Amino acid sequence: MSDPLPAFYINLATRPDRRTHMEAELARVGLVAERIEAKAPADLPPALLAAVTTRRHQRLTATELACSFSHRHVWRLMLDRGHAAALVLEDDAIISTALPAALADPLFLGPDVDAIQLETHPSNALIGPARRTTNPALARHRLLTSSLGTAGYLLTAHWAGRLLADPALDLYPVDKVLFGREAGSLYRAAVWQAVPALLIPVPESPGSSVGRSDLEIARAENRRQRPRRPRRAVRHQFHHWLVLAKSALTGRLWGARRIDIPAAPDLRSPR
């Protein structure tokens, strides 16, 4: 029997509520994951922090950059320990009971995979034909347009090493680097989407602190302060064309379809 896939979850020291949540989620589904201390803005190189938070376009907040550094730390840890691939979680994930079996399925994390997006909000995305797994209710589809979020994903060491050398890490939020059009991963790597998604982020709720996201608060403030970008629609269409053109050259558009990515059945009802 092969060793279990290593797993990590990222958690700020100032969010013990989320640590408690994640430990309970992991125990509920029978997974073991190592806690990784999340980076805070105070941990970042001051010069880089000043550069990315003050530039006119593609501005990142200090919290977004800290989130990116947290994920980079996990990727470097993967490489240092010689892991071929790993599960990376954030501390607000609600996990499907189907995830452990998927992690052990050689048809799910196959040799043709660089990364697999495991979550949905749900989000609308263009996906390629299904690659079936041993679970008839689960497939992975080549991701052809953005499916954002980093509550949970699978990443190979091969792609982690290339991402760590990518200057886009300081230009875009980490979810756009992994699963967005703008940073180019969708046409430079084999990026897949789990259908149905095997986890969702905790929804914001007045009755629970876990759904309160420090990152979303920072992003909302950034949107209010960011200068207007009248050519955004042009850039959006350019990236859309580029991803489709790259996919067409490889034949991946045959059988492609746009769907609202569903969540696994045990995630569809409010918890």
CATH number at 65 reads 3.90.550
Residue with more model confidence, 208 or 9: 9
Phi, psi (rounded to 5 degrees) for 167: -65, -15
**pLDDT confidence of residue 181:** 84
The arithmetic mean of pLDDT across residues 202-217, rounded, is 67
Is the pLDDT at 215 greater than 70? The verdict is: no
Rounded Cα–Cα distance for residues 142 and 16 (Å):
36
Is the pLDDT at 121 greater than 70? The verdict is: yes
Return the percentage of the chain with pLDDT > 70, whole number. 80
Confidence bin at 4 (pLDDT 50/70/90): confident
Q: 1 in a domain, yes or no?
A: no
For the chain, what is the mean pLDDT? 87
Torsion angle of C-alpha atoms 191, 196, 198, 202, degrees rounded to 10: 110
Q: 2 in a domain, yes or no?
A: no
Rounded Cα–Cα distance for residues 137 and 120 (Å):
16
Digit-coded pLDDT (tens) for 14-41: 999 999 999 999 999 999 999 999 999 9
Is the pLDDT at 271 greater than 50? The verdict is: no
Strand partners, 47: none
**pLDDT confidence of residue 250:** 64
When mean pLDDT is compared across 82-86, 103-107, 122-126, 212-216, the lowest value belongs to 212-216
The arithmetic mean of pLDDT across residues 143-151, rounded, is 93
Q: 51 in a domain, yes or no?
A: yes
The arithmetic mean of pLDDT across residues 81-86, rounded, is 97
Q: 149 in a domain, yes or no?
A: yes
Number of domains in the chain: 1
Is the pLDDT at 254 greater than 90? The verdict is: no
Tell me which residue range forms the domain holding 260.
Answer: 7-267
Is the pLDDT at 224 greater than 50? The verdict is: no
Q: 230 in a domain, yes or no?
A: yes
Is the pLDDT at 122 greater than 50? The verdict is: yes
> In terms of Cα–Cα distance, which of 129, 151, 251, 248 is closest to 198?
151
DSSP string, the chain: -PPPPPEEEEE-TT-HHHHHHHHHHHHHHT---EEEEPP-GGGS-HHHHHHHHH-SSS---HHHHHHHHHHHHHHHHHHHHT-SEEEEEETTEEE-TTHHHHHT-TTTS-TT-SEEE-B-SS-EEEEEEEEE-SSTT-EEEEE-S-----SEEEEEHHHHHHHHT-GGGGTS-HHHHHH-STTSHHHHS-EEEEESBSEEEPPPBTTBSTT--HHHHHHHHHHHHSPP-TTHHHHHHHHHHHHHHHHHHHTTTTT-EEEEPPBPGGGSS--
